[in-house]
A and B are shown apart, each in its own frame.
Chain A
Amino acid sequence: MRSVVGRLVRGLGRFLWDFFIGDTPGLFLAVILAIGFAYALASLGGWAGVPLVAFVMAALGASLARAVKGS
């Protein structure tokens, strides 16, 4: 019984890893950083969303550059 539960937990963990992180751990990390960045920017008001969008696009650009370099 314990081994079945262990297998299920391991399977679920592997599935979640593939689903959210997979071959782009850099993008996952960037989104985690973006959450903190968003809270830090919220106090600025006005156009605080602009640096957040720029940060996200820069992360995507960096991920693309890494993919091209690695190919």
Chain B
Amino acid sequence: MPLFLLAVFGASAVEMVEALTIVLAAGVSRGFRSALEGALAAMCLLVVLVGAVGVPLVNYVPLDDLRVAVGAVLLVLGLSWLRKAILRGAGRLAHRNEDEVFRRTKDALEKTGPVPRSRDAVGFTVAFKGVFLEGVEVVVIVISLGASQHRLLDAASAALGAALVVGIAGALLARQLSSVPENLIKTVVGAMLSSFGVFWLGEGAGIAWPGSDLAISLLVVAFGVFAWAAMGMLRLVGREGSHEAPPIPATLEEGSSL
């Protein structure tokens, strides 16, 4: 599988794990019919977004300008992912706990009143919002990586494939989403997105990379080594510090949608 499809697949998998937690909570507390309809409606809207924004970008924007813009977007997303993953890996930021998110969402939904016999608007809306908000980031990544390679359809298929795999795994694992190594996936995908970002930004600006596309693999390794070294250093600094600073709760750092 080409590296850019792997990046799309990984990013989509991470976001869909987070979305699935909300869909499952909505399904358990408000009924699965409305929750699944909400999730499906959001997926359809995300696919329309990819087509509506991605196709004109591929066809009408000059390739070099597109690569600089796409590189910048990927770099912003990739660096944010990598930063959060490093802080979590070093114990400086609390890990996202899917079981806790599931419990909190389920408790809140159960307090919203009785479930109607026909369609439940609350369950539909919560599942729709969960999938749509998590999916927007995947749409940006699909469009960025797909458009810069002129392989939008392949990128969209990889994202949908990941959503399908996560959906099936979630149903089989029966909610044990906390066992997914989310931070490891986030570190690898963050390194990949940052690598593609800096590569396309440079290429679009006119920088000739040694080894052409092979440079992307080297960049992934370089960002991976940086992340590993940074986690180690931050852990060491934490141990040597005179006072133990507790990790920042994930909810405080989750202010952005990233």
Contacts and interface: CB of A to CB of B under 8 A. Distances in A.
Check if A and B associate.
yes
B210 interface: yes
Interface in A12-40: 15, 18-24, 27-28, 30-32, 34-35, 38-39
Chain B contact-residue range equals 35 or more
B219 interface: yes
Contacts of A59: 79
Contacts of A46: 208
Contacts of A30: 79
B258 A47 contact: no
B205 A56 contact: no
B207 A41 contact: yes
Contacts of B73: 20
A48 interface: yes
B76 A67 contact: no
Contact of B202 (A22, A27, A28, A49): A49
A22 B201 contact: no
A8 interface: no
Chain A contact-residue range equals 35 or more
B256 A35 contact: no
Contact of B83 (A32, A39, A63): A63
Interface of B: 68, 72-73, 75-76, 79-80, 82-83, 86-87, 92-93, 136-137, 140, 194, 197-198, 201-202, 204-210, 215, 219, 222-223, 226, 230, 234, 237, 245, 247-248, 253, 255-258
Given A18-B256, A38-B202, A60-B230, 7 more contacts: A22-B257, A31-B197, A34-B72, A41-B202, A49-B207, A52-B207, A68-B237
Interface of A: 15, 18-24, 27-28, 30-32, 34-35, 38-39, 41-43, 45-49, 52-53, 56-57, 59-61, 63-64, 67-68, 71
28 contacts: A18-B257, A19-B258, A20-B73, A22-B256, A22-B257, A24-B83, A27-B80, A28-B76, A31-B76, A34-B75, A35-B201, A38-B201, A42-B205, A45-B208, A48-B207, A49-B209, A52-B198, A53-B222, A56-B75, A56-B194, A60-B194, A64-B83, A67-B92, A67-B93, A68-B92, A68-B234, A71-B247, A71-B248
